[in-house]
Amino acid sequence: MSENFFAPRVVASVRECVGAKIKANAPVSIRDCINHVRDSVPESQMTDDDLVDLIASLVVLEKWPIDLNSG
């Protein structure tokens, strides 16, 4: 399967991770989100760098209140 097949599931996993952290008023860690994606979509072949880029893009698009420089 191509990575494009898994991309919607990866995006959903990132949204789930960030949404849960924001709802709990907890700090959002990019590493936590990467680990969440790895656990929930283990067949994804996205690199950590690809996931960081995706998370950063979603932060901007979704207007999440996250400081990307905080880790």
Q: Tokens in use for 26?
A: 């907890």
59's tokens: 């932060």
Read off the pLDDT of residues 13-49 as tens digits, 9 standing for 90 and up. 999 999 999 899 988 888 999 999 999 999 988 999 9
Q: What is the pLDDT of residue 64?
A: 83
Phi, psi for 22 (deg, rounded to 5): -65, -45
Within 13 Å, how many C-alpha atoms sit on residue 29's CB side? 5
CA distances from 23 to 13, 62, 65, 71 (A): 15, 15, 12, 19
**What was the pLDDT predicted at 66?**
76
Using a cut of 0.85, tell me whether the model's pTM lies above it. no
pLDDT at 49: 93
Both tokens assigned to 22: 């924001």
